[in-house]
Amino acid sequence: MMMRFLTVTILFLFTSLSVLAQDDEAVVFTAKVSKDRLGVNERLRVDFNMNKDGDNFVPPDFDGFRVLMGPNQAVSRSWVNGKKSFSKTYTYILSPLSRGSFTIKQAEIEIDGETYKTTPVQIEVTAAVDDPNVDRTADDVAEESLHLVAEVSNANPYLNEAISVVYKLYVSPDISVSNFIPIDNPRYNNFWSQDIEVKRWHAQTGLYKGEQYRYVVLKKVVLYPQKTGELTIEPLTLDVTVEVPTNRPGFFGNRVTKPVHKTIAAGKRTISVKSLPQEGKPASFRGAVGQFDFDMITSKNDLKANESLTARLVVSGNGNLKLFELPELSLPSALEVYEPEFEEQITTTIQGMRGKVSQNYTIVPQLKGKYPIPSVEFSYFDPVQEKYMTISSPQSLINVYEGPSGTEDTGTAVTAMGKKPVLGSGASFRFLMLDADLKPIGEEPFFGSNLFYVLFFSPLLLIPVAVLIGRRKDALAQDVEGRKRRQANRLARKYLSEARKKLGDKEGFYESLERALHNYLKAKLHLETSDLSKERISLLLSEKGVDQPQIGEFTGLLNSCELARYTPGSHAAMQKDYEQAAEVISAIDKQIK
């Protein structure tokens, strides 16, 4: 008797604990449909499920559908790891009355004196399908539950305005993804592109076509369109392994999943690129698009002659910092100016390029005086305000307080621009002498005259000149390095002659320059066209004894030729590449053994 009392007591305690645990659990009342898109000849199953028992269930009206069956009620209780769970479901089988978009409205239930409602569900009814009785396969489930989307920040940008493309993989809660492999990565033709590194894949939740999904950001790209009109972004294609639940229960009661391989693509996106307006376009505009600041900075303004100073033209801000030319600095001719050095400090994020670029001029004054550095204009197009902006640097003055004064014997001073003014003399304008006052040559003896001595001593004066010329020829003949240099320069001009003729025509120039570099290598290294890969070129030049800096410059020129076809160019940039190519060919020709 005592044993029976203990058993009943223990069972009562367990039942009380389970009821208390169930009471503490939050109420969940949901509506779930078998599919949200079906043919007019198919059937739809709707389940209203709750995790606690309730009363006074009120179904929706099911407008647009005929109720074929229901409500069927099912109750389920289970124990999992000592915890009791409860589930109660009302099921309806519906048939659509016509094509169109319909809504399964809210159902109501009372649980513990409170009224709960389901969320409305949107249903799309299409034309009749071929076989409405066929059950959905695992492939069908994966097809409906997996979506790859390319989200473009701006589908109608200006030329050279930054846009971003974010690739997201949306996965329905009904399935899981075990693996994915990129099959085809997009090539961004007519765009300058920069991939933004995605360090880790982090699952997030969001809506896709109004439904709750999980998604992962797979890839981020920043693009700058280099051509106006309709441009196409190629799709990203993935091979995805999906685990789709089946109706078969597992050994422990869980549903068995089936792996399915699906190939999905983000789909092509069309970008309509607007050209920059011609109205109000300043003469100083060189292709900058974004929001920028501009300044000219000099390292010092007071110095002695033959000392150096640095003048920097600096552009900073957000925009296409790598895709435009900086303005040029105009200086007085009395100032010696070296080839400017270009510097950049740029960071590329999903919003685009940000940082600064600068052109650094080294200036060495030769003469004493005050030299003005004129104001420099920098213009850019602001795509937010949709207008051109111009910034002018302040004019500055270089004071050379010590050095040659730049005067001649006549006392002519050097002006601020280093040019001497033209001075007139009393003999600048004279009347023509009409009377020649000629005398017969026979009246003055030739022997002993000035002309006699000039003709007599001229051969003697030519002797040292001839000796100097002979020594110069001997020196040139013995100058092996100099002879090699001159031969290399002639060879460089020979191969680059065609490119020189096309200076100003960007595409023609860089095609000719690339062909000239390849033809030079084929002639010097006896290569076939199929051998002209950059790795092969670097290896062969290294075996021929060419220094690594020259090899790097040569392959860098080849890369520049490829990149230049998709970036804006100028006559100055082409001239610079032409001169660099001539120097590199000359340097390599002298080193090849």
Q: What's residue 441's pLDDT?
A: 54
Of 259-273, 401-415, 527-541, give the lowest mean pLDDT range: 401-415
Give the model's pLDDT for residue 405: 78
DSSP letter for each residue of 85-154: EEEEEEEEEEEESSSEEEEE---EEEETTEEEEPPPEEEEEESPPS-TTSPPPHHHHHHHHEEEEEEES-
pLDDT of residue 435: 58
- pLDDT per residue as tens digits for the range 116-149: 999 899 999 988 876 666 566 777 777 788 899 9
CA dihedral 346, 350, 352, 358 (to 10 degrees): -10
Residue 317 pLDDT > 60, yes or no?
Answer: yes
Phi first, then psi, for residue 440 (nearest 5°) are: -65, 140
Residue 162, pLDDT score:
95
If we measure between CA atoms, which residue out of 199, 165, 195, 193 comes closest to residue 267? 165
Torsion angle of C-alpha atoms 25, 31, 37, 41, degrees rounded to 10: 140
| Mean pLDDT within 242-253 | 64
* CA gap 551, 525 in Å, rounded: 14
The per-residue pLDDT for range 499-510, each reduced to its tens digit, is: 777 777 777 787
When pLDDT is averaged across residues 261-265 and rounded to a whole number, the result is: 86
**Of the given ranges (211-215, 392-396, 586-590), which has the lowest mean pLDDT?**
586-590
Under 8 Å between Cβ of 398 and 335: yes
Hey, what are 520's tokens?
């030079």
pLDDT of 113 higher than 50: yes
d(CA 72, CA 61): 16
Average pLDDT over residues 88-115: 89
Question: Does 354 have pLDDT greater than 80?
Answer: yes
Query: Is the pLDDT assigned to residue 412 strictly greater than 90?
Result: no
Per-residue confidence band for 198, with pLDDT thresholds at 50, 70 and 90: confident
pLDDT for the residue numbered 429: 39
582 DSSP assignment: H
Q: Which one-letter amino acid corresponds to residue 315?
A: V
Of the two residues 252 and 206, the one the predictor is more confident about is 206
Of the listed ranges 41-45, 130-134, 311-315, 504-508, the one predicted with least confidence: 130-134
- What residue type is 195 in one-letter code? D
Percentage of the residues of the chain whose pLDDT score is greater than 90 = 27
As a whole number of angstroms, the distance between CA 368 and CA 19 comes to 101
CA 259 to chain centre: 38
pLDDT at 254 over 60: no
> Per-residue pLDDT averaged across 244-269, rounded?
72
Please tell me the distance from the alpha carbon of residue 513 to that of residue 496, in angstroms, as a whole number. 7
Angle at 338 between CA 333 and CA 344, to 5 degrees: 125
pLDDT tops 90 at residue 222: yes
For residues 192-196, average pLDDT: 92
87 pLDDT exceeds 70? yes
Q: What angle do CA 389, 394, 400 make, to 5 degrees?
A: 150
Secondary structure element (H or E) that encloses residue 364, with its range? strand 352-365
Q: What is the pLDDT of residue 463?
A: 79
